[in-house]
Amino acid sequence: MRAEMGAEQPETIAAIVAAHRAGTVTPAQTVARTYRRIRDHNDPAVFISLRDEKDAMAEAEKLAAKDAASLPLYGVPVAVKDNIDALGFPTTAACPAFAYTPTHDSTAVERLRAAGAIIIGKTNLDQFATGLVGVRSPYGIPRNSIRDDLIPGGSSSGSATAVGAGLVPLSLGTDTAGSGRVPAMLNNIVGLKPSLGMISTAGLVPACRTLDCISVFALTVDDAALALSVMAGPDQADPFSRDRPLGAITPFPTNLRLGVPRNGQLIFFGDKKSEAAYADALKRWTALGATLVEFDLEPFYETARLLYEGPWVAERYLVIKNLLASAPDTIHPVTREITAAGARLTAADTFSALYRLQGLRKIAERTFANIDALVLPTAPTAYTTAQVLANPVELNSRLGTYTNFVNLLDLCGLAVPAAMRADGIPFGITLLAPAGRDAMLASIGRAFHADTKLTVGARGVPQAPLAPLPANGGDEIPVAVVGAHLSGMALNGELTALNGKLVEATRTAADYKLYALQTTPPKPGMLRVEAGKGAAIELEIWSLSSAAFGKFVNAIPAPMAIGTVRLADGRSVKGFLVEPEVLGEARDITSYGGWRKFMADAATA
């Protein structure tokens, strides 16, 4: 294991933001340190394009004029996989002949920047995100951050090694068949694969458009969950987007039931060390209080086979069919071989596979009827770069044993480090659950990771103690805000000054109208209307102590009022409404779906 105990240690997002807010370190100092670490690491294969340091420093210095308390990623350096658009960088998907210059950020990157993050570069990947190995790129093979001879994992190779090596505390990957999980295990970091549609894929070069996720790499579960909460939310630019806020991280449950495969169903390809590490991980779960419940893994294996033996390869073919026809030699030979097979699939093949998948999804639903989550190896084994180059397709396929079925079954996943083997190879487990249970996975995954007492990443840095969860007892009152009190908006400081905590971003039920009022500063007014005549309005839920809630409500001026707001999922919370008699001179802005989008449009008008 590569350790640099004498060098500066990598920090978590939580530590960086806390230092920035306290003023002990400035965002500019953090950015300067990031570039110094990149130079010291000296691996040109990690980044495909790197932002000019002076430009990044200038952006960091401008952050000083902003309200640090309202920016959850205040001054955090972030790397972005180079199949995700980021303004100021070409998007290559690791294929120079495919490269283009985007005219705006992807939605995910836009939301990171709005939260105070600083994008410093675009990272390497298996070309067109096809592969779990990280060796299929004309831009080179990033060094594994733990052991030089190991593959970095893919397809998000650069993103995972950048976090593992301590170059950045946060990076974006993508995950269609395991690309956000396998490289996390191989670099001893956390890989969070959210529920499908939770993070918008607008601005992502597709691999399989119906299955793609933008994923998160971080040193801790809490860091990954924070980044997810910033990016999650519906997006009209992505027809596959869903309204799936993260929700609250909770204490470890007392009656957790974890699914483990029946005896003899697990495959490790002869790797006894991985097999033993998985058995030890199960003992750790039991010691934490979980009940292990056996389930049949075979239907999940069958689903995994559909991904590359079925019609979903045609989705990959659609992305690059023009390049395959005009300049096939510009495509990596292994990628070309895999993708070209998609041209031969028929509509009959597609429907046949869809019918079988629907049956397998029903089996998965029954599996989860009495199980909270599955716990599986992230990958069955690990390989060296030399081994994979000698046998590229078979060994890549083996790495997807426990990942390929996940998106087909609409599951969320969290890959967490579990052990460092005696041979210096990291081992990890992945938690899987039905879509929408992302917060539950984070809640249990953070406890497991802390219990391992593993160092984070590759530099031998101990984990900090788990941060206490926000109070959520009887003294806490949730309040829904829709306008100037939203994160980053003019009056958000009124909430943070009262120690308010952001709980989640979500939407109302579809029976509200939103109006722009004639006030200073600008504010909206939300009014409930007859069912079917309104829309779902974006809002945030904040938590205040009962005393703080009283102070907050007492200071609200007319025509604003606090009433009961019905949410999209059927819950009701106290929140901002408007007195209807003032709406005669107000502008109906319901079509924007929320105050933030209206203000953004007004700023560019």
Distances (CA, A) of 102 to 90, 91, 155, 224, 237: 7, 7, 21, 26, 15
Q: At what angle do helices 347-367 and 298-309 cross, to 10 degrees?
A: 160
Q: Are 513 and 535 in contact (CB under 8 A)?
A: yes
Q: Kindly report the backbone phi and psi dihedral angles of residue 452, in degrees, each rounded to the nearest multiple of 5, phi listed first.
A: -70, -25
**Phi and psi angles of residue 472, each rounded to the nearest 5 degrees, phi first:** -140, 35
Give, as one character, the DSSP assignment of residue 518: S
* Distance in angstroms (rounded) separating the CA atoms of residues 534 and 490: 26
Strand ranges in 422-462 using DSSP code E only, listed in sequence order: 426-434
Q: Which residues pair with 384 in a beta bridge?
A: 150
Coil, helix or strand at residue 191: strand
Rounded CA gap, 355 and 309, in Å?
15
Point out the catalytic residue in the list 70, 81, 137, 193.
Answer: 81
Partnered with residue 429 across adjacent β-strands are: 377, 416
As beta bridge partners, residue 173 has 215
Helix, strand, or coil here: 409? coil
Catalytic annotation present for 81: yes
State how far the alpha carbon of 535 is from the alpha carbons of 141, 236, 590, in Å: 49, 14, 7
Rounded to whole angstroms, the Cα distance separating 398 from 182 reads 11
As a 3-state breakdown, the chain gives helix, strand, coil percent values, each rounded to 5, of 35, 20, 45
d(CA 575, CA 474): 18
Determine if residue 562 is left, alpha or beta; phi over 0 gives left, psi from -120 to 50 gives alpha, anything else beta. beta
Q: Among residues 179, 200, 543, 545, which one is catalytic?
A: 179
Token readout for 494 is 């009124």
Helix (H) or strand (E) holding 526: strand 524-528
Bridge partners (DSSP) listed for residue 477: 544
Residue 84 carries which DSSP code? Answer: B
Which residue intervals of 461-594 are DSSP H helices?
A: 492-496, 546-554
Please name the residues in contact with 372: beta carbons below 8 A apart, sequence gap of 6 or more.
253, 256, 257, 258, 433, 437, 440, 444
Q: Please confirm, yes or no, whether 157 is among the known catalytic residues.
A: no
E-assigned strands of 262-313? 291-295
**Any catalytic annotation for residue 155?**
yes
Phi, psi of 119, deg, nearest 5 = -80, 125
Give the Cα separation of 126 and 138 in Å (integer).
Answer: 9
Query: Is residue 80 within 8 Å of 172, Cβ to Cβ?
Result: yes
427 phi, psi to nearest 5 deg: -125, 140
Q: Of these residues, 155, 157, 229, 487, which one is catalytic?
A: 155
d(CA 271, CA 380): 8
SS (H, E, C) 485-507: CCCCCCCHHHHHCCCCEEEEEEE
What tokens does 540 get? 């945030």
Q: Which residues are catalytic?
A: 81, 155, 179
